[in-house]
Amino acid sequence: MRSLEALGAVGVVPVLLKGYGLARRLYPEPFHRATTDVDLLVLPAQVAAASRALEGLGLVPVSERPGHGGAHAHHHAFHGPAGWVELHFRALASGGQALEAEGLVAHAGEFELEGHRVRYLRAEEELVYLALHASNHLLQRLAWLMDLKLLLRANPGLSWRRVVEVAQGTAFPHLAWYALDAARRLLGLAVPAEVLAALAPRRWQRGLAGRFFSEERLLSARLAAHKAEWLLAKLLLAPRVRPMARYVLWRVGEVLPWRGLPPH
């Protein structure tokens, strides 16, 4: 909560993504949903002031690895005795494409959390964001699927038409389908068939998703433990193969044994 207080002192009211704010709203006991960091979404123009405020708490910026800026970046990370904070200036970045902050922040509602001003995404946009985030990480935490189910339970009047519009307005609607379909299969999430049809990837990708995101594989978090399979899944399930191929080649280049060796 100290990060919210620090940002509020400089006039920045962030969108609280995932984490404790989500747990407080959706779970019977907030600590049933474990979280290790704080994710704050602000406008790009607010990043400098927000960063200074976080540094004022004794948080230290985490150095970015070479090549991780630009199209691949969506947040700045800070760490210290007060914890780990990710200051997002984009909601999401995947394969060189991004979900920008401006539209989400503009639609977010303002609330209070333990005496601090915060913003939360509109229900339809939050559902899409959570689905995109989960699929971007290949659904390797089942808690992310439970978030979708509990969000829908808390918002029975949610507009599925709006969900489709929001997802289709992003660069990666297929990612929303992967998470919603997996939550439907594994947790009984009541997603209308027409919603899944509107967001569905190509047939062969749907078939691969059924394999990559089978109950057995998700329970074992197999992809998280196998880097080569992870990269292959990212490439094959990508909404746009060419940008993701460039991203995968870039990631492969990071781990090649000769990378960083001095030239002969």
Q: Output the CA–CA distances (angstroms, integers) from residue 150 to 45, 123, 218, 260, in the order listed.
A: 33, 12, 19, 46
Helix/strand/coil (H, E, C) string of 226-252? CHHHHHHHHHHCCCCHHHHHHHHHHHH
Tokens coding 78 = 């800070």
Other Cβ atoms closer than 10 A to 65: 9
User: Please, where in the chain does CATH 3.30.460.40 lie?
Assistant: 1-121
Give CA–CA dist 147/153, Å, rounded: 10
Could you read off the pLDDT of 28-80 as tens digits, one per residue? Answer: 988 888 788 899 999 999 999 999 999 999 999 998 765 555 556 888 999 99
Phi/psi class of residue 81: alpha, beta or left (left: φ > 0; alpha: ψ in -120 to 50)? Answer: alpha
Using only the alpha carbons of the chain, give its radius of gyration.
19
DSSP at 30: G
Query: In which band, very low, low, confident or very high, does the pLDDT at 264 lie, cut at 50, 70 and 90?
Result: very low
pTM assigned to the model: 0.89
Could you read off the pLDDT of 75-128 as tens digits, one per residue? Answer: 899 999 878 999 999 999 887 788 999 999 999 999 999 999 999 999 999 999
Please report, rounded to a whole number, the percentage of residues in the chain having pLDDT higher than 90: 75
SS3 label, residue 152: helix
Give the pLDDT of residue 249.
61
Could you read off the pLDDT of 190-207 as tens digits, one per residue? Answer: 999 999 999 999 999 999
Using DSSP bridges, classify how beta strands 38-41 and 83-88 pair: parallel, antiparallel or unpaired.
parallel
Phi/psi class of residue 70: alpha, beta or left (left: φ > 0; alpha: ψ in -120 to 50)? Answer: left
Q: Which CATH class is domain 1-121?
A: alpha beta
